[in-house]
């Protein structure tokens, strides 16, 4: 058993409230496949993954794990594992192929069937409207740096809300807008692969605006009982020391990772320190009168995605700026106006992604937002780990490292609940192995193993462990499977 697992295993049982949601999460482009079927047109990830050199081995989501055709099998598997919640995303170009105009009903019908299947198995669906698959035609018109994209998103949100709002109660507008803005438009390691720091800041604002307008659109067409949230990959940013320079570096990265989104969403304003730090790049004149009121919609819940903390310091003289931040290799930084900041690898065991395993960061994040937005229910909408999983001679996939990871982080969630946080559910990332963006199929985050040659699904030992937790509300020992 890894040392880290021993450290987080308490002597007394860790139990959760009976109402706690035990779920798993996926996203459309990573699992669906069927990219040219039933009227779907290319998204920016179709274009990006088909561009030589952009993904590992030139791999694409053309087939992914064929969930579009195998969704009934996948829902049955969730039910077998005892999950009571499932978070999935809707493919914008499957529903509204050009990003404009009327919906393609056959595209919506897929999600209607999926929702019906989930409900029939007693699994609560949570819909994410945007998990990075912008219709390519909207990118051709300028993408997220253009204000019109936010307006188009509101129209799309209304279409999906009208189609599914009678049966889906939990809604999430955006998943990790930080990645969309800064990996997509600053470092270029994600679609659409642009490297323009000014454009990335404009994209961040228009993603915020899309969230606000999309929230209004959803509420205009859905029953009042439905909830609207957003999922942020807020960073736990720690300074390397308490020196004024390192504290200033941490402040700058915290603004760029967190404040740029939760500032306007939760408080109706961008942090003054963010505006000052980025003044060499932009005057923020694209923030129009009324935008901040539109963005600052009352939320019903907040989704938090967590994987690893960040450790930063002021850059040494002559350093080239932040590169080793865990967000892929690029000659361009995803942190605009932050070349005076250095990222450092935090100590401890690491996952296959090279990310340090630190459950204390999840507890810290939860407690921060308990203070940042008192009274707002929280969900952990993504948390998980990639490991180099192998099938053994008996056809099983044993992944004790992932069990230790999940147990440690779920124990941190339970500790936060004990400390007064209102955390109502946990969505493991991911239900099954899938297309891991620029890493192709080389990084396996799934609790269910997928043989990419046959697409056969095999629950790993971590899935069986998580199944026991979901059914009992208790965290078994790491070696309990």
Residues assigned a catalytic role: 176, 382
Token reading at 261 = 């989104």
Distance CA 266, CA 281 (A): 25
Angstrom CA distances, 231 to 171, 236, 286, 387, 407, stand at 10, 15, 24, 24, 22
Token reading at 360 = 């204390």
Q: What φ, ψ does residue 406 adopt, rounded to 5°?
A: -65, -45
Q: What is the DSSP string of 344-371?
A: EPPSS-B-TTS-B--HHHHHHHHHHHHH
Contact (CB, 8 A) for 144 and 134: yes
Question: Which are the contacts of 71, defined by CB distance < 8 A and separation ≥ 6?
Answer: 110, 113, 114, 117
User: What sign does the CA torsion over 323, 251, 174, 268 have?
Assistant: negative
Of 401, 425, 386, nearest in space to 304 by CA: 425
Query: How many residues are present in the chain?
Result: 481
Of 153, 284, 286, 318, nearest in space to 230 by CA: 153
Rg of the chain's alpha carbons, rounded to an integer?
Answer: 21
Of 414, 353, 429, nearest in space to 384 by CA: 429
21: which strand partners?
A: 425
Of 361, 369, 335, nearest in space to 236 by CA: 361
As to burial, measured by CB atoms within 10 angstroms (0-12 exposed, 13-18 middle, 19+ buried), residue 331 is exposed
Question: Which are the contacts of 190, defined by CB distance < 8 A and separation ≥ 6?
Answer: 48, 132, 179, 180, 183, 184, 328, 437, 438
Q: Distance between the two ends of the chain, CA-based, in angstroms?
A: 13
Contact (CB, 8 A) for 455 and 66: yes
What torsion do the CA atoms of 335, 336, 341, 347 make, to the nearest 10 degrees?
0
Distance CA 228, CA 127 (A): 10
Q: What is the DSSP string of 391-409?
A: --TTS----HHHHHHHHHH
């Amino acid at each position: 058993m890894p040392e880290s697992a021993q450290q987080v295993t308490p002597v007394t049982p860790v139990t959760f409230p009976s109402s706690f949601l035990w779920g798993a999460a996926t996203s459309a482009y990573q699992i669906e496949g069927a990219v040219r079927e039933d009227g779907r047109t290319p998204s920016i990830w179709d274009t990006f993954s088909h561009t030589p050199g952009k993904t590992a081995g030139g791999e694409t989501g053309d087939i992914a794990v064929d969930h579009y055709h195998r969704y009934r099998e996948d829902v049955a598997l969730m039910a077998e594992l005892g999950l009571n919640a499932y978070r999935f995303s809707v493919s914008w170009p499957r529903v509204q192929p050009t990003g404009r105009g009327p919906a393609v009903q056959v595209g919506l019908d897929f999600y209607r069937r999926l929702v019906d299947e989930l409900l029939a198995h007693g699994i609560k669906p949570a819909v994410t409207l945007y998990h990075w698959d912008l219709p390519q035609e909207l990118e051709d018109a300028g993408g997220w740096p253009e204000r019109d994209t936010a307006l188009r998103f509101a129209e799309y949100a209304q279409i999906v809300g009208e189609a599914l709002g009678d049966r889906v109660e939990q809604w999430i507008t955006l998943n990790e807008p930080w990645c969309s803005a800064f990996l997509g438009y600053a470092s270029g390691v994600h679609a659409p692969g642009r490297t323009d720091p000014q454009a990335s800041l404009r994209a961040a604002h228009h993603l915020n605006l899309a969230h606000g307008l999309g929230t209004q659109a959803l509420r205009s067409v859905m029953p009042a009982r439905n909830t609207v949230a957003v999922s942020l990959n807020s960073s736990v940013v720690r300074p390397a020391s308490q020196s004024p320079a390192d504290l200033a570096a941490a402040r700058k990265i915290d603004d760029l990772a967190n404040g740029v989104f939760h500032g306007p969403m939760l408080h109706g304003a961008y942090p003054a320190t963010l505006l000052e730090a980025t003044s060499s790049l932009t005057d923020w004149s694209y923030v129009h009168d009324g935008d901040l009121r539109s963005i600052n919609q009352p939320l019903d819940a907040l989704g938090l995605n967590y994987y690893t903390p960040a450790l930063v310091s002021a850059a040494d003289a002559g350093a080239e700026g932040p590169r080793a931040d865990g967000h892929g290799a690029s000659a361009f930084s995803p942190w605009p106006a932050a070349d005076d900041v250095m990222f450092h690898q935090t100590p401890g065991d690491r996952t296959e992604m090279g990310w340090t395993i630190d459950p204390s960061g999840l507890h810290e994040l939860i407690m921060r937002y308990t203070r940042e937005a008192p009274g707002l229910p929280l969900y952990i909408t993504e948390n998980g780990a990639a490991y180099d999983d192998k099938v053994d001679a008996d056809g099983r996939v044993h992944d004790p490292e992932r069990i230790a990871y999940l147990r440690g982080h779920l124990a941190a969630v339970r500790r936060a609940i004990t400390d007064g946080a209102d955390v109502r559910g946990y969505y493991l990332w991911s239900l099954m192995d899938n297309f891991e963006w620029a890493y192709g199929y080389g990084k396996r985050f799934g609790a269910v193993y997928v043989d990419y040659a046959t697409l056969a699904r095999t629950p790993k030992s971590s899935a069986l462990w998580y199944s026991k937790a979901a059914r009992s509300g208790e965290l078994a020992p790491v070696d309990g499977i």
